[in-house]
A and B are shown apart, each in its own frame.
Chain A
Amino acid sequence: MSDAPYRDIVKQGLWNNNQALVALLGLCPLLAVSSTAINGLGLGVATMATLTITNLLVASIRRWLRSEIRIPMFVIIIACVVTAIELLMSAHLHDLYLVLGIFVPLIVTNCAIIGRAEAFASKNNVILSTLDGIVMGLGFTLVLLILGIVREIIGYGTIFRNAELMLGEWAAQLTIVVLPGYEGLLLAILPPGAFMGLALLIAMKNKIDTWQSQRIKNRESVSVDLQASRI
């Protein structure tokens, strides 16, 4: 019973209310940098970190939040967190910054962050809000990663190309050539490919949802039939 809210948060973040597939928030960064799996992973991790920290901060000051100024307060918090992450990353993890650096300012444009601050963190306690930040970020990251993988396979015929830029020299061997000798399809890497890929993912999620609710309905009608036959 006690872990019910946690389980619900996880389910909401990863599936039912996935920020990228259901809420359709954060499309600007999502579409812009999902051209390869590594780029997608990079933006996803950066977004997850930001979302977790902002949710934590918003939840911990929610007692003193006045409803008239809550939105500007969220904006201040998010802007500060993103700026601090960018500066500290550039100072202490410069090689990672050179790769992810362009993504970090993009996070500011992600409405999912202010969306979670408003919809969840300002109404729930610190632990639940932090979990919500992690899970919502994870859901966003997974979509980015899958979209990146799909676009990269179609666009370049590989997975995890340029992994060494993000993970260091050892990751250079991570690149998997899925389609050897493949010339690549430019469309998948350009912005239209992002829209098509995202549309496919959303369609697939909807299909799975319909299929699942159909199954539940069938099971229910079977059990109703059974009960009816018993009577």
Chain B
Amino acid sequence: MVSRNKYRNILVTGGLLAISALLGTGLMVLVNRHSVPYIEHNERQVILRSLNAVIPVETYDNDILNDSIQVTDKELLGSSAPSTVYRARAAGRPVAAALTIIAPNGYSGPIVLLVGIDYTGQITGVRVVRHRETPGLGDSIEIQRSSWIESFDGKSSTNPSAAGWKVKRDGGEFDQFTGATITPRAVVSAVHKSLNYFQKHREFIFSIPEPAEINDKPVKMPANNRT
């Protein structure tokens, strides 16, 4: 009798735990379902905000978030994974592009940057998207901490010349920070490479038309087309 009670006890306890886990999971599914559309919307707003920081919003009129292509160039864009290029147009004519690039040689890991380049090859703005540089030293690349990142504005691959695209310690034009040379060195070199990439591939970048004109882009279909 004792052992039978024991088995029952185990079954009831296990069942209770299983039901609770199911209940918890179910609740999370509901919360997730409710949140996902809002989160997607918010994340797009965040991307749009940083895009507008590198490309002046009054210079273009297209839906820049949906006008993007994926490109891969390990040498010039810093990653073997595809990176996103957003294209800004005014009345259908190319204005500028925003490239997501990676500076692979930061002090503590890769630094993700967003570089805005106008059609003539001039930088319209650079922002740091993500980094893990030392707080208080390398994090001066953030716009919230110092205006250093704005020293790229208006530069191009010919201004300064290739020799000038270095930090001052290496004989170039860009300031380094007190106590941190590796971080700005990595950023300067990554931005320079992105300019070279743009120079090489400018026509290609803008040659692919906007998704509004071609319909086979991965635009989200309404759910009812599954039936």
Contacts and interface: CB of A to CB of B under 8 A. Distances in A.
Given A91-B38, A94-B46, A83 B20 contact: no
Interface of A: 35, 64, 66, 68-69, 72-73, 76-77, 79-80, 83-84, 87-88, 90-92, 94, 97-98, 155-156, 162, 184, 186, 189-190
Contacts, number: 60
Nearest to A155: B136
Nearest to A162: B144
B21 interface: yes
Contacts of B143: none
A156 B46 contact: no
A96 to B, nearest CB: 11
A83 B31 contact: yes
A88 B35 contact: yes
B129 interface: no
The A interface, classified by DSSP as helix, strand, loop or mixed, is: helix
B34 interface: yes
Size class of B's contact patch? 20 to 34
A72 B136 contact: no
Interface of B: 13, 16-17, 20-21, 24, 27-28, 31-32, 34-36, 38-39, 42, 45-46, 134-137, 144
Nearest to A187: B136
The B interface, classified by DSSP as helix, strand, loop or mixed, is: helix
B35 A73 contact: no
Contacts of A35: 135
Contacts of A66: 13, 16
A72 B17 contact: yes
Nearest to B38: A91
A188 to B, nearest CB: 9
B136 A87 contact: no
Contact of B42 (A64, A88, A94, A156): A94
B27 A80 contact: yes
Nearest to B12: A66
Given A69-B13, A97-B42, A184-B136, 13 more contacts: A35-B135, A76-B20, A76-B21, A80-B24, A83-B31, A84-B28, A87-B35, A162-B144, A186-B135, A186-B136, A189-B135, A189-B136, A190-B135
